[in-house]
Amino acid sequence: MKCSFRLSAVSLYTLGSLLALSGCSSTPVDETAGWSPNKIYSEAIDERDAGHFEKAVTLYEKLEGRAAGTPLAQQAQLDKAYTHYKAGEQAQALAALDRFLRLHPASPALDYALYLKGLVNFNDNLGLFGALARQDLSERDQKAAKASFESLREVVTRFPDSRYAPDARARMTYIVNSLAQYEVHVARYYYNRGAYVAAINRVQSALTDYPDAPALEEALFILVRSYDALGMTQLRDDARRVMQTNYPQSAYLGQGGKSVSDPWWKLW
């Protein structure tokens, strides 16, 4: 009996040792332990370019810690934000950029950080630049578009000679046109439901806030029709004259013109 007990104890001891060793072997090994910051940065870029975004983000975070207080650490923060953006992770990208802007308000890369923030919000709200397809982008939530505009305006205002300024200006124009069209979309909605006063108010808002937007042609047409529906002939004729002066070839006022209910993208 004693011999049997001793063998069992030895067996249990051996089993425990094996389990302990197994636990140790499962501990993750940091393959970057002996890497230089430059090597980590190079590997992160390769992983990102290969589409391995999660691994790239991990490498950028390691680099930020290893190179703390250096320009390379700042670059890692920006590249991590860009990697989140490429991965379609808008919330993470914006969080990383807000952190960068808070920690490095005088960074030489501030123009890029603001531009990237505008880009993240731009694509989050409007999709690919200029790709209208058959979808009225102005009907989406306008919050991200306005946030994008503010970031891009900072680039243009504070860094007019930045390499990112020309594209920022182009995107700002696109956003303004989209926001103007949103107002027209709402005005059209009110008009088609007989809420003519509400339609007039939205048109006047668009005319005041976005004086050069292409959508104002339809806005004026809705204004003419709304005043006409209310029997306000003097205001109707005034609005018509303004429209004829600014859009003398408008299809809205000619024979076979578009109706108020037509989607705006059918004009182009």
- Give per-residue pLDDT as tens, 32-43: 888 999 999 999
Confidence of residue 130 (pLDDT cuts 50, 70, 90): very low
Please determine, for residue 215, whether its predicted confidence score (pLDDT) is greater than 80.
Answer: yes
Instruction: Output the pLDDT for position 84.
Output: 97
Indicate the average pLDDT of the chain. 83
Residue bearing the bigger pLDDT, 68 or 131: 68
Average pLDDT of span 164-186: 92
Q: Is-contact 155 111, C-beta < 8 A?
A: yes
Average pLDDT of span 197-209: 95
Please determine, for residue 128, whether its predicted confidence score (pLDDT) is greater than 80.
Answer: no
Percent of the chain whose predicted confidence (pLDDT) is above 70? 77
Instruction: Output the pLDDT for position 245.
Output: 94
Residue bearing the bigger pLDDT, 134 or 238: 238
Dihedral of the alpha carbons of 258, 259, 265, 268, in degrees to the nearest 10: 10
Please determine, for residue 265, whether its predicted confidence score (pLDDT) is greater than 90.
Answer: no
Confidence of residue 143 (pLDDT cuts 50, 70, 90): confident
Residue ranges, comma separated, of all CATH 1.25.40.10 domains in the chain are: 180-267
Region of 20 (left: φ > 0; alpha: ψ -120 to 50; beta: rest) is alpha
Q: Is-contact 213 182, C-beta < 8 A?
A: no
List the alpha helices (DSSP H) in 26-70: 37-49, 53-66
Average pLDDT of span 255-259: 48
Please determine, for residue 78, whether its predicted confidence score (pLDDT) is greater than 70.
Answer: yes
Instruction: Output the pLDDT for position 40.
Output: 94
Dihedral of the alpha carbons of 256, 257, 262, 266, in degrees to the nearest 10: 100
What 3 state SS string does 175-234 have? HHHHHHHHHHHHHHHHHHCCCHHHHHHHHHHHHHHCCCCCCHHHHHHHHHHHHHHCCCHH
Average pLDDT of span 106-123: 94
Confidence of residue 5 (pLDDT cuts 50, 70, 90): very low
Please determine, for residue 255, whether its predicted confidence score (pLDDT) is greater than 70.
Answer: no
Instruction: Output the pLDDT for position 107.
Output: 95
Dihedral of the alpha carbons of 130, 136, 140, 144, in degrees to the nearest 10: 20
Q: Is-contact 6 32, C-beta < 8 A?
A: no
Average pLDDT of span 55-68: 94
Number of CB atoms found within 10 A of residue 208's CB: 9
Confidence of residue 27 (pLDDT cuts 50, 70, 90): low
Least confident residue range of 5-14, 22-31, 159-168, 232-241: 5-14
Please determine, for residue 224, whether its predicted confidence score (pLDDT) is greater than 50.
Answer: yes
CA 129, CA 136: separation in Å to the nearest integer? 14
Residue bearing the bigger pLDDT, 169 or 265: 169
Please determine, for residue 197, whether its predicted confidence score (pLDDT) is greater than 80.
Answer: yes
CA 116, CA 4: separation in Å to the nearest integer? 72
Please determine, for residue 135, whether its predicted confidence score (pLDDT) is greater than 50.
Answer: no
CATH of segment(s) 180-267: 1.25.40.10
